[in-house]
Amino acid sequence: MLKNPPKRTVVTHWGTYTLDEGDSELRPIEGDPRSSPIASSMTDPVVDRARIRKPAVRTSFLKGRRDGLGRGKESFTEVPWDEALDIAAAELDRVRATYGNGAIYGGSYGWASAGRFHHAQSQIHRFLNCIGGYTRSVNTYSTGAAEVLVPHVLGDSRGLNIAHTTWPVIERNTRFIVMFGGAPERNAQVNSGGISRHVLHDSLKAARANGCEILSISPIRDDILPELEAQWLPIIPTTDVALMLGIAHTLLQENLQDADFIQRYTTGFDRFEAYLRGQTDGIAKSAEWASSITRIDAEEIRALTRRMAGARTMIMMVWALQRSERGEQPYWMAITLAAMLGQIGLPGGGFGFGYGSINGIGVPVHGFAWPSLPQGRNGVSDFIPVARISDMLLGPGEPYDYNGETRRYPDIKLVYWAGGNPFHHHQDLHRLEAAWQRPETIIVHDSWWNATARRADIVLPVVTQIERDDIACSSRDRLISPSHRIKTVPDGLADYDVFCGLARRLGVDAAFSEARTTEGWLRFLYGQAVERTTAAGFDLPDFDTFWAGSAIVLPEPNSQPNLMEDFRDDPILHRLATPSGRIEIHSEKIAGFAYDDCPGHPTWLEPQEWLGSGAAETFPLHLISNQPATRLHSQYDNGIVSRRSKPKGREPVRMHLLDAKARQLADGDVVRIFNERGACLSTVSLTDQILAGTVQMATGAWFDPQRDGKGRLIEVHGNPNVLTRDVGTSRLAQGASAHSCLVEIELYDEELPAVTVFEQPVIVKGT
């Protein structure tokens, strides 16, 4: 086992911290001006109340029952590690021998650890590949619709996940930032691979100091910090496409479009223009038309258009906008609008997605890739879009469309989950719970008895990121750092140790471990990092020196190109990887799919649930379920920072004063939020920072459904995903559509149920 130095470094998704020997307080590393408070929850002793202390098996499952009807309801029996691994290995062997490896779903999500080795998603996929493979998921909840759409328009994921215009370029050159969805600092406090410095606030502040104006178009005013003096343009949720169409129509009407750019760098604009002018459907997408949908004054739309055309303009859009019905359309329309302005490829102009969605977007980085744990080859070719897990479990063999293909859902008999919490990420959790009963076996790795662990058959407790050694480095940061173990748990195993034990039982130990210990893998991965940084002109110390030291931040690269600068300079030499080699404002390929919910060019497609729909007569409030400020997704919801944010132990819902007055609600009242899919309890927080008719509630409260005194099923803790819709964004991408959600709110005057999800489930001591 590695010997850790007296001054230790801990790298997390929400920042990099140091800890002196004998101290208990994690301190952000020098140079990070906006450190996240979530670190306080990591060392909070109260979190261990929900700790999984020993391997456990659902009691009836241990007796041989393979139906899932008792999941989440019955007791667990603790068993020794050897017995737990024997049972898990036997289940894996039984399912692959009886049904084939395609009947195993390897569920995971990438937020379990910021480290390169103890990355649960990589560990589980490597292990399952060693035993023959598994049905996998593709895309993410964060950007699922955009991940499929943007490559059709641009040829790859530039501007979405890669190659963003950097903040220094924006600070020097941009004169007008138009933000769709604001730039929430709560989102930008995290990054998947570790953080050396939180950059969003200071970058926007520097741009403002250089004369850049900022406009936030959002239903939520404080989705950008007030000290940045941004203007706020409130908009009806999920109507951003209509606003952009109104701007585009005004550009044409006032001859402000860049016709030369459109002709040279794009294809299909004539088809889009016919739609824009109303030649295809009889409806001109004018400022007046957009105003009737967005409730933004038509003259204000025209004035905004002139401002955008008259200045170096950067269109920024948060990732959240694609998590709604027809979520592909805002991204396609933003690219189209930027093309009409003709500033794509100019310093500080064009577009970019995700600047306020995660830290590191816009950080200047070097071109090499940091190493990661090799996952091997998957012997199963089948997959599902990640947000379609309930559909898969409920409808094995059923057909579905995805990106031009007609596919069928596999028949899953075993779900193996390590990393992530589907009972947080997914929508319509009551539907997921019904689907979760279908597999014969569910195996879960976790540290705490959250909702997913409580609904497993075999629960294998794993140590947390502060209880293991690792190396952190990120494609969105110039950081490489040791991440030292600062806490030891008796008999604690990491995911790697668990999989090594299973691999031995299934005869694939050599393939999985390659005879390396954890230290051996860390030295191996660091060696790869040294090779790549040396090739890029940087010198890293030897491993032992690195391990005894602190975080290393590589210098900022000299060259900071603007997004698509090379394409603008020479569209022939640097043609895009689209069929035309250009920006596809109209895509013949997508049009050829003949999807009624995703035509061949950007289009306003009315959602089923929005404030302009008939459903709003029954459920007149639009729910925005945003990312939390006090935890990462559902991680450390049991920690002190998250717990302190919940009046009366419930996740608060922000509500406009006028909406509360109409319902005779006061600040701090406990309320029932409901629609036809479910109901949850919350506490009212009154505000004037959101648009009337809109309510805002953070995701991540651990799912805790109970029956109240009237026998109604209510999620008592404040998890909004009992309310959100579990439908695909479109047949193209099948992404998550959580933000298309209408609700009603009423005072809850029954006896208040206790939140129980932070306590231990019923545990039977094994013999």
The token pair at 249 is 């129509």
3-state helix, strand, coil in the chain (%, to 5): 35, 20, 50
| Dihedral over alpha carbons 114, 116, 118, 120 (to 10 degrees) | 80
Tokens of 205: 């502040």
Pairwise CA distance, residues 724 & 707, whole Å: 20
Residues 548 and 5 sit within 8 Å (Cβ to Cβ): yes
| Structure tokens that stand for 232 in this block | 């706020």
Report the greatest alpha carbon distance in the chain: 81
Q: How far is CA 64 from CA 68, 89, 415, in A?
A: 12, 15, 17
Given a contact cutoff of 8 angstroms between Cβ atoms, the answer to whether 636 and 644 are in contact is: no
Between the two ends of the chain, the Cα-to-Cα distance in Å is: 32
26 and 43 Cβ atoms separated by less than 8 Å: yes
Catalytic residue among 111, 319, 332, 449: 111
> What gap in Å lies between CA 635 and CA 654, rounded to an integer?
22
Q: Is 159 left (phi over 0), alpha (psi -120 to 50) or beta?
A: left
- Which of 14, 17, 105, 109 is catalytic? The answer is 109
DSSP string, 663-689: TT--TT-EEEEE-SS-EEEEEEEEESS
Tally Cβ neighbours within 10 Å of residue 594.
12
Backbone dihedral angles phi then psi of residue 352, each to the nearest 5 degrees = -170, 140
Which residues, 6 or more positions from 257, have their beta carbon under 8 angstroms from its beta carbon? 251, 340, 341, 342
Tokens of 54: 């020993």
| CA nearest to 692, candidates 600, 622, 607 | 622
Rounded distance between C-alpha atoms, residue 546 and residue 540, angstroms: 8
Query: 45: which residues sit within 8 A by CB, 6+ positions away?
Result: none
Whole-number Å distance between alpha carbons of 695 and 376: 45
Facing residues of 483 across strands? 470
Distance of CA 346 to the CA centre of its chain: 30
Q: At what angle do helices 328-341 and 240-253 cross, to 10 degrees?
A: 20
Neighbouring CB atoms inside 10 A of 63's CB total 9
**What tokens does 8 get?**
């230790």
Candidates 576, 565, 572, 583; CA nearest to 346 is 565
Give 628-657 as a DSSP string. Answer: PSSSBTTBTTTSHHHHHT-GGGS-EEEEEH
Please say if 109 is a catalytic residue: yes
Report the distance separating Cα 195 and Cα 164, nearest Å.
18
Structure tokens at 200: 């969003």
In 3D space, the residue among 201, 197, 200 whose CA is nearest the CA of residue 11 turns out to be 197
610 noted as active-site residue: no
**Pairing, β 136-138 against β 383-385:** parallel
In 166-301, beta strands by DSSP E: 176-180, 213-217, 231-233, 266-267
Whole-angstrom distance, CA of residue 359 vs CA of residue 187: 8
Report the distance separating Cα 43 and Cα 20, nearest Å.
14
**Contact (CB, 8 A) for 597 and 730:** yes
CA distances from 71 to 416, 448, 678 (A): 15, 16, 20
Active-site annotation, residues? 109, 111
